[in-house]
Amino acid sequence: MSELSKSYSPKEIEEKWYKVWEENGYFSAQHNDEKPGYSIVIPPPNVTGILHMGHILNNSIQDTMIRWKRMSGFDALWMPGTDHAGIATQNKVEKWLMEEGTTKEEIGREKFLERTWEWKEKHGGIITKQLRRLGSSLDWKRERFTMDEGLSDAVKDVFIRLYNDDLIYKGEYIVNWCPKDKTALADDEIEHEEVTGKIWQIKYPVKDSDESLTIATTRPETMLGDTGVAVNPNDSRYKHLIGKSVILPLMNREIPIVADEYVDMEFGTGAVKMTPSHDPNDFEVAKRTNLPLLNVMEEDGSINENGGKYKGLDRFVARREVLKDLEELGLLVEVKEHHHSVGHCYRCGTVIEPRVSNQWFVRMQPLAKKALEVVRNGEITISPQRWIKVYYNWLENIRDWCISRQLWWGHRIPAYYSEDGTIFVAKSLEEAKQQAKEKYGKEVELREETDVLDTWFSSQLWPFSTMGWPEKTKDFEKFFPTDALVTAADIIFFWVSRMIMISEYLFDEIPFKYVYLNGIVRDEKGRKMSKTLGNSPDPLDLIDKYGADAIRFSLLYNTSQGQDIFFSEKLLEMGANFSNKVWNASKFVLQNLEDFDYKTSISDLEFKLEDRWILSKLQNAAKGVNNALDGYELDMAAKTAYEFFRGEFCDWYVEAAKTRVYGGDEQDKKTAQWVLRHILDNGLKLLHPFMPFITEELWQKVKLDGETIMLSDFPKYDEALLDKEAEEEFDYLKEVITAIRNIRGEVNVPPSKKIEVIFKTNNESERNVLEKNAKILDKLSNVEKYTIDNERKIPKLTGFRLADNTEIFVPLAGLIDTEKETAKLKKDIEKTETELKRVLGKLSNEKFLSKAPQDVVDKENGIKEELENKLAKLRENLELYKD
């Protein structure tokens, strides 16, 4: 047996084992008919992406679940892949071309797409390499890309089905427009930020009258596109003006005054400028009141020819010029600060410009009904439950989805136009021409749609397009619907709801059974991590420093379902320390198995109390971890495995076993060795889903058979192996030892000093445990001698504790410096009294109680209770030293 190195070095172990796992195909689902299927599809990271802390948490959760299922007898598939990320990737390639001194327009669409594929092949695999560093056991042989050939076929198929069912249409509507990326965006791709801007009041003269209407706007440049002014029909101030006109300042254009109940009589002046081509609410009013549309902006946000002398100016430059001219004309009435929400592009951060445009849309309301039903009836579970209300609210108020994007990189919309504007939707130009020939009775020239589909259109097909659909593949038959989706809550609209809608539409079937919405990894101050704030560590640097296992375990241990994690490197120290503990405990066990016969039969053994106890505790741990993972409570599963391995195995059983492996009784030694090997074997298996690398390395040295721990059997609960009596007896012994250690600690008796203990008990069971476990008492609490004597006179200077029905006395004479301890205790009492006085003063201060938040008051009450308990204990200890 090869010896373990003195200290744990994660880097060499992690690099070695991932290569072995992947080369041997251990991650691959096998289509084993004897095993039930279990599948998860990865939320596809952008092909432009690099690993961040959110990815670390999300993929650690998925990998833990898939490794557990794989070890639990499932044919498990974790589907990998990346998203083509339309806007983000096109931006990257455009920057690349700029560095070469050219643009996409100069090289043309076909050449640009060639260069984009080139960029993707060169740079697109960064994040998948990084996921390997994390230990993600993805089935890389099945890796997909949202623009690979099979997925592209699926996209066309779905588009055509939706179009033929009148669920996709094209029309001129107001959309969210990004002037930087020059494309439309869906409502849920807009990030709204609260900003402090200005609101300007402008005077609009009423035609042929001395009157004027004062309107308020936060975007004065859009007045160039005004086609009316609206007032509420019930507003007595303006009833006499309805049907008349105003003269639009700066443009000297006559525009009508219309009535619509949309106008809030209480807000502002009660008169609202109507710019239907550049405001979604105005667009709706215009449809009801027949106001014309007038677009005054180019795709890049500059003013077009409809803006008169302002043509060519950027929208924000035009704003300054418009305001200057209004002021010169005496038409600028008032300027105020104004707090309002402004939409920004979720990709580049540019301020969105609502703009009328001819776009493709999906009718969402018919699709949303079933998606609501399957969550309401429990077919799909969303966790944490608080997100269900958000999900309902979104779907109940859903608007049609703008799916066309004015980009070159993406799935080109499968539509073709004849000269008269007739649309033919087909998978290819040949199919479209055949449709046109049937319509016109002759062959006609067709023009292909230039727009591409929103990236989320292809992503919504991910749970089944990755399985080979629309072909009826083995993967599709076995692994769809998938079992779980683990993703971030912020894409519940973009992605989660749309996958459910489209799956129900196509198959009348849910795409997954369980949605786990993980929390956000924030910094210590609760801020989201970002490059701008400089608070986002490089995960690869952390992996180099601590090891992937330590990072995974630390995050999983601290990730209550859906709760955000407040991250600091200190958090990772727990995982790193635990990794070292696992290593060192395993090293001790392996060192003491050198002369052990691994073929030893259980029938050859004679179990002691501690053996029966740890074997029973293993059943409890197996039950706890399996139950927690079954309920997707990963923190509880990690804590259960941790407490078993570190607490029960390392801190108690290993220490107790040392009296036997170093003793002279060969039979006793053999039993202890068998139990040490058996518990280490199973303990590593319990930890493997959380900490794959270190457990593989160690298991290879302790295993009885098998190629890899990841394909071994996960420990299962066996009630027949429970030993309640042994648990009660050894837990009692632990309580006794802990009591003795506490007495030592409180009066500063070093652990190395031998002590005497006097026990008094009338409980026969407790007496038997104490009598039969002298070696453990000596080993774990350094007891030189002890007596169980209810009549024994107790010396005055004695430490005392109670364990169940047993009184525990530790004579302290000669073990401590009484004067020194008395002085120290008095000093501690004085210091604690001062601290308590300060807290009591605060809690008796009415001003503090009335102004402080309740959580602050609760915290102070907690401190008060701690200090009072501490003071009582210090005074109790001081009594020991009094004559």
Rounded CA-CA distance 150/411 in Å is 12
Rounded CA-CA distance 679/265 in Å is 76
User: In which element (H, E) is residue 334 found?
Assistant: strand 332-345
Q: Give residues with Cβ within 8 angstroms of 579, minimum separation 6.
A: 8, 10, 547, 549, 550, 553, 691, 694
- HEC assignment per residue over 851-879: HCCHHHHHHHHHHHHHHHHHHHHHHHHHH
* 414 preceded by a cis bond (ω within 30 of 0): no
**Residue recorded with tokens 């001062």:** 834
Rounded CA-CA distance 404/175 in Å is 11
DSSP code, position 352: P
Q: Is 531 annotated as a binding residue?
A: yes
Backbone angles phi, psi at 41, to 5 degrees: -105, 135
- Are residues 64 and 124 in contact, defined by beta-carbon separation less than 8 angstroms? no
On the 0-12 / 13-18 / 19+ scale of CB atoms within 10 A, 149 is exposed
- Are residues 319 and 313 in contact, defined by beta-carbon separation less than 8 angstroms? no
Residue type for position 582: V
* 481 preceded by a cis bond (ω within 30 of 0): yes
Q: CA of 19: how far to CAs of 25, 140, 706, 787, in Å?
A: 10, 12, 18, 59
Q: Are strands 452-453 and 144-145 parallel, antiparallel or unpaired?
A: unpaired
Residue type for position 493: F
Rounded CA-CA distance 506/398 in Å is 20
Q: Are strands 183-185 and 190-205 parallel, antiparallel or unpaired?
A: unpaired
Identify which of 92, 315, 136 has the alpha carbon closest to the alpha carbon of residue 224.
Answer: 315
**Residue recorded with tokens 């299927």:** 37
**Residue recorded with tokens 């069971």:** 765
The string of DSSP letters for 260-324 reads -TTS-TTSTTSEEEE-TTS-HHHHHHHHHHTPPP---B-TTSBB-GGGGGGTT-BHHHHHHHHHH
Rounded CA-CA distance 313/321 in Å is 9
Binding residues: 531
Feature table: binding site for ATP: 531
